Structures are given as C-alpha cells and as structure tokens.
Amino acid sequence: MLRYAGTRVAGMVPTVLILLFLAVVMIDFIPGDIVDLMMEGNPSPEHRAEVEAALGLDRSLVVRYFDYVRGLVVGDFGNSLWNEQPILPELLRRIPVTIEIAVLATVIGTATGVFFGVLSALRQDGPLDYVLRSISIIGISFPSFAIATLVVIMPAIWWGVSPTLRYVGPTSDPLKHFMIVLVPSIVLSLNLTASIMRLSRTTMLDVLRQDYIRTARAKGLTTSQIMLRHALKNAMIPVITLTGLQIAFLIGGSVIVESVFVIPGLGRYLLTAVNQRDYPAFQAIVVLLGVFVMAVNLLVDLSYAWFDPRIRMS
C-alpha cells in the first residue's frame, strides 16, 4: 500500500509543476496591457515600473517561473497589490473555512446520495423510486448559486427572516459557527447528492444482478446482510470516482456561495482578488485550490486500493 501511495504522489509532481507554470504564464494572456488595466488610466513611468516589477513583467518567463517556484518552497506567496501585505497569512486565515465547508458538503452529499440511491434501487420501478429519480433530476438542474440566492431571498420575502449573514469564528461560538457554515454546505451538497443518488441507483442495480448476490440469497442471508457485506462495497468505486470529480465543482461553487452567505473563505477571496485586479493574490489562490483538488484526487485513488485490492496489486 505504501508503495502504491508513493507512486501516486510521485505522479502528482509533474502536474503541480504544470499548474505553477500556468499560474505564472496566465498574466501574459490577459487581453490588453495589464498595467493599464490595473491602474485604470495613464500611470507615471515610475509607477508603471513599480507595478511591472511587482508582477515580474520586467523578467523573462523562465526567470519568473523559477522565482515563483522558489518562493513557494519557502512559503513566500508574494504581496497583495491592493494592500501590499503578505498573501500567505490571509490564505492561512481563509483556508480552514473553505475546507470545512467543502468537507461538510462532501460528507452530506455523499451520505444522502448513497442512502437514497440504494433505497431507490431496492424499490425499483415503485412509487418511491419514481419520486427519488424525479428529485435527483431537479437537483442536478439547479446550480448552487441559484439555490444559495433563493435560500437567502425567499425566506425574507415569505416569512420576513433570512439566514444569519454575519460570520462567527469557531473559537467565538462553536455552535453558531457550525450553524452558519451548515447552510452553505447543504446548498453546495445538493448537486452532489443528486448526482450520487443517480449513480448509486445504477451501480447498485447492476451489483444486485450479479451471481454472488444470488448465492448469498440462496444461503439465507437477509437483505441488510447482503447489502452491508457484499453489495455496498462493490457499488462504491464508481461513487468514489464521481465524488472526487465533484470536489472541483464544489470549489468552483464556493466562489459564489461564500459571497452570497458572506463567508470569509478562499472562494470569496478569489472573487475579491479578481474584482480588485490583485493578480498575485489570484495566482496564489489558483495554485492553492489546484493543489487541494489534486490532494483530494490522491485520496480518492488511495481509497480505490482499499475498496479493491486488485488495483494496488496491479
């Protein structure tokens, strides 16, 4: 298992290097003169030279790339062009919030999706099956930002109340903090729930038709024993694949959801950096989110090996 994990980690290194290159080179592909766009006018030659030096535009692409990689190795993500403060402390302050929401949304989405997907498979072609399949289609159709907006606006229109939009840290009031992050987590999890529900139903129906399930029934095992001992584990590998792929969409959805619920996470910081044209901060957030998605995919690959030992043996 350790050898398999080491191989997967080593395979991530080229991907990380490519991600860093794209983060550095994307400034060159912004339409127009980036300095003019940032300064919104005709900056003085001294100010232009200062901004170009801050962005590394006075150096070649190769030099910029190696300087950026060298800085990341020692924990230097650069300084914000907006307030001239180091970016790393701001990232460290916001990372736990985004990870908390993403993990909570993944747990909620996966657990509820698998539960209702398996239930739908066990009640195939029955009234409950049709209801759950219809709900899953509706859940896939609605984007997270639309649901987040409705969650904030509709209660205010109907009942004169709205979710708490003032963020409270976990050290100040743990219970209130949990309730604040729970709402955006549920909103982010709805698309994941619907997708996993449909996939779980399909894979479970396929597993239940296998010969070893018929053998288990012939031996007198109950439905719950068959599900827990044989069917569920074999039906989970496609679900794990989908969950890993959906993490990237959860991160993308958090950009709008965190802004709607005024959550000080990386998603809101990314949107702020784009609006303020704070390109060093934008670069740092893109790199960090990219590494986070790759780390999640690594965990997904390792979980494959746990569910199916043939993968790590091959």
Q: Do 213 and 206 contact (CB within 8 A), yes or no?
A: no
- Residue 79's φ and ψ, nearest 5 degrees, are -115, 150
Which among 264, 124, 25, 154 has a CA at the least distance from the CA of 272?
A: 264
Amino acid letter for position 218: A
- Would you give per-residue pLDDT tens digits along the chain (314 residues)? 677 677 777 888 888 888 888 888 887 776 656 666 666 656 667 776 777 776 676 777 888 888 888 888 888 888 887 777 888 898 988 888 888 888 899 899 999 999 999 889 888 888 998 999 998 888 888 887 788 888 878 877 777 666 656 788 888 888 888 888 888 899 888 888 999 999 989 898 888 888 888 888 888 888 778 887 778 877 887 888 788 778 777 877 777 888 888 888 888 888 888 877 788 888 888 888 888 888 888 887 777 666 666 555 55
Q: Using CA atoms, how far apart are residues 174 and 123, in angstroms rounded to an integer?
A: 40
Q: Using CA atoms, how far apart are residues 88 and 95, in angstroms rounded to an integer?
A: 10
pTM of structure: 0.78
Assign residue 124 a region (left: φ > 0; alpha: ψ between -120 and 50; beta: otherwise): beta
DSSP 143: -
Q: Do 287 and 72 contact (CB within 8 A), yes or no?
A: yes
Domains and CATH numbers, the chain: 2-73 (no CATH), 87-282+293-313 (1.10.3720.10)
